[in-house]
Structure 1
Amino acid sequence: MSQDFLPLCEDLIKFLPKTAQKMLFSATFPNTVAQFMRKHMNDPYTINLMEELTLKGITQFYAFVEERAKVHCLNTLFSKLQINQSIIFCNSFNRVELLAKKITEIGYSCFYIHSKMQQAHRNRVFHDFRNGACRNLVSSDLITRGIDIQSVNVVINFDFPKNSETYLHRVGRSGRFGHLGLAINLITYDDRFNLYKIEQELGTEIKPIPPTIDKSLYCM
């Protein structure tokens, strides 16, 4: 559930009778959804249809970088990695559009998608990307919600996520369908604690990025 929809949902619930039956459906279950559920539902039944996400088969690295050097670092990654398709994640829709423009300016094909776009436009972008019309997609966390693209073998967190659930859903993009995947995280000074926290919560290790990355780690 996008934060943008919470006030609207709260207003709608005010018009419902207290005895109304409520059902909540969500592709993911972040804290915002859990809080909403606890506030408006009494001892609800939970049905989980999602397979457990895993980091198996995904090689994870981080690169410490200053904010102003992120685009340069991304350019270097594009030139060195063997990318089938990649998804680059940002933490806001404004940064999604700005980064997509920068990527185009440095000479790489790029689509972008975020929650502020019209649904028909989002569907068209996703359909074209999935069919291989473009190699790189810049996205907000919108695309982490139950969407699978088989040919994606590289995920880059241009902005590091704030929690482990978001990280797991983002990075899971690159290693599904039994394929190998690569996750690169661009880490600023302010991201250090989140990096450690996510490693601890997920029981995983995110290693410093080496000078060269063995293609056998993420290419079949």
Structure 2
Amino acid sequence: MGIYEKGFERPSPIQEESIPIALTGSDILARAKNGTGKTAAFCIPALEKIDQDKNAIQVVILVPTRELALQTSQVCKELGKHLKIQVMVTTGGTSLKDDIIRLHQPVHLLVGTPGRILDLTKKGICVLKNCSMLIMDEADKLLSPEFRPSIEQLIRYLPSNRQILMFSATFPVTVKEFKDKYLPKPYVINLMDELTLKGITQFYAFVEERQKVHCLNTLFSKLQINQSIIFCNSVNRVELLAKKITELGYSCFYIHAKMLQDHRNRVFHDFRNGACRNLVCTDLFTRGIDIQAVNVVINFDFPKNAETYLHRVGRSGRFGHLGLAVNLITYEDRFNLYRIEQELGTEIKPIPPQIDRAIYCQ
């Protein structure tokens, strides 16, 4: 019922491959891009395997950012709406006391960032001896030097017959080393050809730096924007641009890494609920953030590499949705534009005077 109420009618390719294997208890190493239905691919088997009558943490889902933790726990709660499964989310930057109180009540599934979960485990408050499933989403990021030591320590608290599911879009050496050490014979799923640029029309506009705001204003007046995300390359530029957009008379939120966490949460939540049409942000916001209503992504500042581009633009046009990406390109950006097109095997066309609504509006 939870799956049905969430509006899922048929599994996406990653779900079709992961769910049956996860249910058998095998370790999984899955490569899939954002927007392919990855979250449900591990939440569904996790919920299915939990014994709701047993008062113990049975599944831990690790994610690299607070926003993604909140979003993932929300998906678990929605899918498990008709089960008596208790889902808890915990991340750094929130009250430790509240978490301690919460952990004295039943928790079956814990979603969070590695540092905080390790902290609670070391204090003996979060007990993982019955946790038979560990899920790592955005594993490439989780195995960066910042998180990896915490994760390796955390694994020591799990039972020896634990199951590990790793999901990652890219496959750096760290992921391979970790796999060799902790997942000796995983079931490997590779859906990397499922690029989330499918359904997204990409354009560039050749501008000078000082024309960018004017160009953005023109885009706002010409495009049928349901919701848009606008990316800048620095915190400072995010704030300045948000101010400019508001002065132009458009509704606008902004979010960046230097903001206080609960402020970030509030902005994210309000934008997601449609309180505002445009969101200006830094790359903090690019990974795994799934907002169905976003149909236009604008790179006010063009990214430096293909991976960042893919994660930014892959925001719109998620599994089965149409989207539009507009890149404002300065003279300096032209090499990056060419390189990113080559690396992603995609075409970014010059923007035409009129854009057909049918290509980015459902």
Partner residue of 1:61 out of 203, 208, 229:
203
The residue number in structure 2 matching 1:198 is 340
What is the RMSD of the two structures over their aligned residues, measured on CA atoms?
Answer: 3.2
Partner residue of 2:325 out of 162, 183, 190:
183
The residue number in structure 1 matching 2:294 is 152
Contact 1:85 1:135 in 2 (8 A): yes
**Which has the higher mean CA deviation after the structures are superposed, 77-86 or 51-60?**
51-60
Q: Percent of counterpart pairs with the same letter? A: 74
The residue number in structure 2 matching 1:76 is 218
Contact 1:28 1:145 in 2 (8 A): no
Deviation at 1:43, TM superposition (A): 5.3
The residue number in structure 1 matching 2:97 is none
CA distance in 2, matches of 1:94, 1:41: 37
Deviation at 1:49, TM superposition (A): 9.7
CA distance in 2, matches of 1:53, 1:120: 33
The residue number in structure 2 matching 1:169 is 311
Amino acid at match of 1:180: L
Partner residue of 1:116 out of 258, 261, 285:
258
CA distance in 2, matches of 1:166, 1:178: 21
The one of the two structures with greater contact order (alpha-carbon pairs below 8 A, sep at least 6) is 1
Amino acid at match of 2:340: I
Partner residue of 2:230 out of 81, 84, 88:
88
Deviation at 1:41, TM superposition (A): 6.5
Deviation at 1:177, TM superposition (A): 3.5
Contact 1:65 1:188 in 2 (8 A): yes
The residue number in structure 2 matching 1:132 is 274
Q: Secondary structure at the match of 2:296?
A: strand
Q: Secondary structure at the match of 1:133?
A: coil
Which of 1 and 2 has greater Rg? 2
CA distance in 2, matches of 1:28, 1:98: 32
Q: Secondary structure at the match of 1:138?
A: strand
CA distance in 2, matches of 1:94, 1:166: 19
* C-alpha spacing 1:48/1:138, structure 2 compared with 1 (3 Å): farther
Contact 1:58 1:175 in 2 (8 A): yes
Amino acid at match of 2:318: R
CA distance in 2, matches of 1:48, 1:123: 33
**Any idea what the Cα deviations from partners look like across 1:49-82, whole Å, max 9, x if unmatched?**
9975421110000000000110000000000000
Q: How many residues align?
A: 209
CA distance in 2, matches of 1:129, 1:118: 17
Deviation at 1:9, TM superposition (A): 3.7
Amino acid at match of 2:251: S
**Which has the higher mean CA deviation after the structures are superposed, 145-154 or 48-57?**
48-57
Contact 2:196 2:319 in 1 (8 A): no
Q: Which residues of 2 match residues 41-56 of structure 1 at below 5 A?
A: 44=181, 52-56=194-198
CA distance in 2, matches of 1:97, 1:27: 31
CA distance in 2, matches of 1:102, 1:153: 22
* C-alpha spacing 1:42/1:135, structure 2 compared with 1 (3 Å): closer
* C-alpha spacing 1:27/1:86, structure 2 compared with 1 (3 Å): farther
Deviation at 1:48, TM superposition (A): 7.9
Q: Secondary structure at the match of 1:86?
A: strand
The residue number in structure 2 matching 1:218 is 360
Contact 1:180 1:218 in 2 (8 A): yes
Deviation at 1:139, TM superposition (A): 0.8
Contact 1:150 1:177 in 2 (8 A): no
CA distance in 2, matches of 1:95, 1:199: 25
Q: Secondary structure at the match of 2:354?
A: coil
Q: Secondary structure at the match of 1:173?
A: coil
The TM-score normalised by the length of structure 1 is: 0.81
Deviation at 1:29, TM superposition (A): 4.8
Amino acid at match of 2:343: E
CA distance in 2, matches of 1:49, 1:103: 41
* C-alpha spacing 1:111/1:48, structure 2 compared with 1 (3 Å): farther
Deviation at 1:179, TM superposition (A): 1.3
